[in-house]
Amino acid sequence: MALPTLLCIHGFPLDGSFWQPQVQGLAGAAHVTAPDLRGFGADRRPVPEVMTMEAFAEDLMESLDRAGIERAVLCGLSMGGYVAMAFTERWPERVQGLILCNTRSTADNDAGKAAREQTALDALSKGAGVIARAMVPKVLSQRTRSQHPAEAQRIEEIMARQRPESIAAASRGMALRPDRTGLLRRIKVPALIVTGSEDNLMPLETSEAMNGAMAGSELVVIPGAAHLSCSESPVEFNRHASRFLAVFH
């Protein structure tokens, strides 16, 4: 049985270790790779003042080339989903399938862009720990925080150890991303859209809109999970992902 490569692309402001439950839980379904995006985790490359989604995608493309991987299933959560869409727009022939988690295809409005700049300034002036403490209650559901405190702590620790300049660059880059709903209409490969019933950052309508734009996609809503569905409900997430990945065996 030939397993597909699953390229997991983390959200903001996380790193590849975020995907630990998938690296372990999906090992029988795919060759799972979960790199650190530029400037995050162990990636010590310098970051420009603005790191666009296209620039992250280009880094990933180069890493696939270096590893000799012709095609991969891209699995992106939130900012990782923006990167997966930027990648798919530029190199559709390298994309075998898509798992888009807790993300959206639309661009930021003016208020959203202003908030990105504020996040960038806060990261640079106050540090990653402050950003992490503010984000955890927004990205994890009340259920996750009370029933899985170790996972909540793990997420906060990942966010708190990121470099402020990388957080600022990614925040500014997200503000520049275009609306990619038109791209979704052109996608021909199998796609799975996953979200959490409690995700207030990406309300259900954003996932429904992506599902409506893609021919042949499937939408899964994980009950009780918020914005980090794959870490909050790893067993359920991995069950859906395994079933989806079986198509490529």
Question: Which residues of this chain interact with ligand MLT, rule CB under 6 A?
Answer: 11-12, 78-79, 174, 201, 227
* C-alpha to C-alpha distance for 177 and 171, rounded to whole angstroms: 11
Q: Provide the strand spans (E) within the chain.
A: 5-9, 31-33, 72-77, 95-101, 191-196, 217-222
**112 versus 223: smaller Cβ distance to ligand MLT:** 112
Give me the least distance between CB of 175 and ligand MLT, in Å please.
Answer: 9
* C-alpha to C-alpha distance for 95 and 6, rounded to whole angstroms: 10
**3 versus 160: smaller Cβ distance to ligand MLT:** 160
Give me the least distance between CB of 188 and ligand MLT, in Å please.
Answer: 26
Give me the least distance between CB of 244 and ligand MLT, in Å please.
Answer: 21
Residue 17 amino acid letter: S
Short-list 205, 199, 218, CA closest to 100: 218
**11 versus 35: smaller Cβ distance to ligand MLT:** 11
Short-list 227, 244, 49, CA closest to 145: 227
Largest distance between two CA atoms of the chain: 51
Give me the least distance between CB of 105 and ligand MLT, in Å please.
Answer: 12
**112 versus 149: smaller Cβ distance to ligand MLT:** 112
